[in-house]
């Protein structure tokens, strides 16, 4: 992706080096559950707040990141700026106003309106404060643990989380959340999968316009699709315990995630991303 020297978003809050005290919650089951709650817009404190909630200052001017980390901070800021341009334009075409989210970069752990996030929970979107949260060390995890390398793989992650922000503004996030107490966990998980696949589709929509801006390089699309595939429920569960339990899926299979991202990339429209009406995923 061609990103160096391009506009960076002004909606970035850098909290690196400013994390409060706390102990990260471990275990793949906990991580997957916490992520599902975060993505849906619920309050994950029952999962994450086995640590004490402490106050977090915003920003630390004395923090010195590595050269790679500081480059990643610039990269995600450029990607956020691009999503702002794309979604502002798409919302404007529909006569609606796009409220831009904030991107919070942190190290180790930080507080959000959805509870406490840590490195172990991975990137997440919190609808309570309209913010995307990411510890930049996730880039190494994406590359080393999931086998998804490249700057556009990281760009896909940011675009996916922004997709959840789009879902909040279109009312989808709230509608799915309202179903939580009205059905079994097994049935509710089916809606979570559709929610996540739509966010993957929206990430593809962003990539569609990134290509039109001539900022994609050879291999970028493959990097994003590889990243989407790498975080499929089936692959994560098989890697963690040797088998997958489809009824517990909350994000979709590797094939589904990559396919819906590709569909968004090819379509470039909001309308074609109605995963909730799709007969098959």
- For residue 57, what pLDDT is reported? 34
Residue 213 vs residues 3, 33, 82, 163, 208: alpha-carbon distances, Å? 11, 37, 9, 19, 9
> What's the CA gap between 166 and 156, in Å, rounded?
15
Task: Classify the C-alpha dihedral 29-31-34-40 as positive or negative.
Answer: negative
- For residue 116, what pLDDT is reported? 92
Tell me phi and psi for residue 256, to 5 degrees.
Answer: -65, -45
> What's the CA gap between 57 and 241, in Å, rounded?
38
- For residue 54, what pLDDT is reported? 30
- For residue 18, what pLDDT is reported? 79
| 61-86 tens-digit pLDDT | 567 888 999 999 999 999 999 999 99
Torsion-angle region of residue 23: left (phi > 0), alpha (psi -120 to 50) or beta? Answer: beta
In the predicted model, residues of the chain with pLDDT beneath 50 are 20-36, 38-41, 43-58
| 248-267 tens-digit pLDDT | 999 999 999 999 999 999 99
Among 120, 94, 144, which residue's Cα sits nearest to residue 19? Answer: 120
- For residue 65, what pLDDT is reported? 83
- For residue 229, what pLDDT is reported? 96
Question: Is 124 in a helix, a strand, or coil?
Answer: strand
Among 5, 169, 42, 30, which residue's Cα sits nearest to residue 99? Answer: 169
Question: Is 279 in a helix, a strand, or coil?
Answer: coil
Residues 6+ apart with CB under 8 A from 143: 149, 153
Residues 6+ apart with CB under 8 A from 236: 28, 32
- For residue 214, what pLDDT is reported? 95
- For residue 120, what pLDDT is reported? 87
- For residue 26, what pLDDT is reported? 31
């Amino acid at each position: 992706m061609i990103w160096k020297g391009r506009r960076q978003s002004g909606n970035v809050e850098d909290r690196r080096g400013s994390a409060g005290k706390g102990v990260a919650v471990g275990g793949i089951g906990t991580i997957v559950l916490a992520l599902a709650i975060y993505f849906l817009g619920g309050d994950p404190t029952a999962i994450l707040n086995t640590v004490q909630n402490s106050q977090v200052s915003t920003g630390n001017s004395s923090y010195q990141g590595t050269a790679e980390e500081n480059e990643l901070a610039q990269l995600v800021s450029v990607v956020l700026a691009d999503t702002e341009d794309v979604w502002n334009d798409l919302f404007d075409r529909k006569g609606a106003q796009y409220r831009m989210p904030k991107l919070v970069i942190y190290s180790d752990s930080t507080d959000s309106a959805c509870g406490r996030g840590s490195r172990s929970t991975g990137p997440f979107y919190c609808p309570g404060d309209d913010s995307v949260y990411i510890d930049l060390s996730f880039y190494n995890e994406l590359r080393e643990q999931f086998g998804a390398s490249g700057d556009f793989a990281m760009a896909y992650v940011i675009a996916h989380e922004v997709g959840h922000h789009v879902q909040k503004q279109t009312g989808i996030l709230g509608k799915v959340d309202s179903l939580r107490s009205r059905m079994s966990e097994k049935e509710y998980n089916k809606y979570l999968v559709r929610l996540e696949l739509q966010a993957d589709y929206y990430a593809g929509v962003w990539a569609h316009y990134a290509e039109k801006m001539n900022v994609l390089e050879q291999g970028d699309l493959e990097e994003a699709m590889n990243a989407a595939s790498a975080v499929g429920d089936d692959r994560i569960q098989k890697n963690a315990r040797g088998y997958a339990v489809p009824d517990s899926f909350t994000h979709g299979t590797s094939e589904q995630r990559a396919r819906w991202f590709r569909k968004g990339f090819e379509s470039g429209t909001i309308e074609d991303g109605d995963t909730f009406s799709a007969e098959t995923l």
